[in-house]
Amino acid sequence: MLGGAEHRRSEDAGRKTNMHFKRVVGLFGLACGFLGVAACMVGVYAAWSLGCRLERTNDKVFAMIDRGFVSAQDRIRSVQERVDEAKITSTEIGQRLRDWGARRAKAGLVSRIEIESRAEKLAGLLQTADSWLETSAESIRSVQQALELGNSIGAPVDPASLAEVLEKITSLRSTLQQTERTVDGIRDFTASNAAESEENRLSRVTKLLGRILVTIGDIHTRLEEFSTRLSELQAGACQLKATTSAYISVTTIGLYVLLAWIAAGQAALCLWGWTKHCPGRSSA
């Protein structure tokens, strides 16, 4: 009798110990699961916050890019206007040269003054066009810097794509500067030169003017091509902005799904811990 009672007490003690152990393990699992769910909620907030910051950065970066393209386009249009004026002025100089050759004497003196005045104007137009091309190049460089910033948010961009545009601007500026030096030859025409006859000077300057007109026509064509290329790049930047925004959204949603999957596992751990820690309540 006594042995049987001791055996039952021993079994009861063992069951109580086992139940206590299960409750402790359940409590530990419940705590871990709760912390896991809380961490996932924090992770969801962090993913949302990061996505918002990336979207704002994306908007700012491509706003800078768009402003750079708009500024470059504006300057190119201004350069085109100056080149058109330069063409008109060159044509006027040609007319005055013809007047010089036809009339000479007093009328030739008037033509000389007019040639000098228009040559000064032509040089000023070319210098202004060169200066504005430099400003356009600075705008393109700011676009390059913005594209490099875009790499920091994972945008699939290549800042080197604008290197060709900058090379074309440099080449165009070189052509303009050479044309300015040619204009200096026309301005020298008005100065007397005993070592060269007037007929030779007139012939030489007429050839220089013809070369200037051809060059101005080439510059105008290149400016049209350059403006078209800038428009294409600007449209590509708009598309890239949309692509980058979609990439950010997909990545953020992917983080949400991953965290939800982890949170589901942690919730299951919470449920398991609850059933172990409070078996009576779970069965009820």
Give the Cα separation of 155 and 141 in Å (integer).
Answer: 18
pLDDT exceeds 60 at position 121: yes
pLDDT exceeds 80 at position 110: no
Predicted local distance difference test score (pLDDT) of residue 283 = 44
For residue 122, count CB atoms less than 10 angstroms from its CB and return exposed for 0-12, middle for 13-18, buried for 19 or more. buried
Give the Cα separation of 263 and 40 in Å (integer).
Answer: 6
Name which CATH class applies to 42-135+161-272.
Answer: mainly alpha
Q: pLDDT (tens digit, 9 = 90+) per residue, 138-178?
A: 888 888 777 776 665 555 555 566 777 888 888 888 888 88
Q: pLDDT (tens digit, 9 = 90+) per residue, 17-73?
A: 666 666 666 667 677 778 888 888 888 888 888 889 888 888 888 888 888 888 888
Give me the residue spans of the domains in the chain: 42-135+161-272
> Which has the closest alpha carbon to 271: 36, 45, 40, 44?
36
- Residues 62, 242: contact at Cβ < 8 Å? no
For residue 182, count CB atoms less than 10 angstroms from its CB and return exposed for 0-12, middle for 13-18, buried for 19 or more. middle
Predicted local distance difference test score (pLDDT) of residue 63 = 85
Predicted local distance difference test score (pLDDT) of residue 223 = 86
- Residues 58, 244: contact at Cβ < 8 Å? yes
- Residues 177, 130: contact at Cβ < 8 Å? yes
Neighbouring CB atoms inside 10 A of 25's CB total 14
- Helix then strand then coil, in percent of the chain rounded to 5, is 95, 0, 5
Cα within 13 Å of Cα(1), Cβ side: 0
| CA dihedral angle for residue 46, residue 48, residue 50, residue 55, rounded to 10 degrees | -170
For residue 121 the two structure tokens come to 């104007």
Predicted local distance difference test score (pLDDT) of residue 284 = 42
> Which has the closest alpha carbon to 86: 198, 202, 265, 218?
218
Q: pLDDT (tens digit, 9 = 90+) per residue, 200-254?
A: 777 777 888 888 888 888 888 888 888 888 888 888 788 888 888 888 889 899 9
The residue type of 126 is: L
pLDDT exceeds 80 at position 8: no
Give the Cα separation of 164 and 170 in Å (integer).
Answer: 10
